[in-house]
């Protein structure tokens, strides 16, 4: 085991923790995964700044493993955003929000008090 194995293993483990947290869909789990990830990234930065000799083969393998974990996080983030757009379109919420001019009028945007009807 090279001296750099701990830093790389910690980074990959932290990223895998984030992947697992993203899979739960729970914000508290994702937020909890950020602490170990931050610590692991700080350790990698310290390793880079230390100037210690690194095993090139180990660095290449670790970089591949970490890159895969990052891609998984990105894919999950993109999937979550796509699902959000399907479930909650970018248009203003038209549910039980305030209505302008009575119950038959177009819904209004409470920030501007303007109706959301395209004819208005």
Token pair of 40, please?
């692991």
pLDDT on residue 97: 53
pLDDT tens-place string over residues 42-80:
998 898 888 888 888 888 888 898 899 889 888 888 888
pTM given for the model? 0.59
pLDDT tens-place string over residues 4-39:
468 888 999 999 999 999 888 888 998 999 999 999
């Amino acid at each position: 085991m090279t001296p750099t194995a701990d830093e790389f293993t910690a980074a990959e483990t932290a990223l895998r923790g984030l992947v697992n947290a993203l899979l739960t869909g729970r914000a508290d789990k994702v937020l909890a995964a950020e602490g170990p990830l931050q610590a692991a990234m700080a350790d990698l930065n310290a390793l880079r700044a230390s100037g210690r000799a690194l095993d090139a083969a180990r660095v290449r393998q670790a970089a591949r493993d970490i890159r895969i974990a990052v891609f998984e996080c990105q894919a999950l983030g993109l999937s979550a955003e796509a699902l959000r757009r399907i479930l909650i379109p970018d248009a203003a919420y038209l549910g039980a929000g305030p209505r302008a001019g009575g119950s038959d009028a177009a819904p209004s945007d409470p920030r501007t008090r303007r109706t959301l009807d395209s004819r208005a």
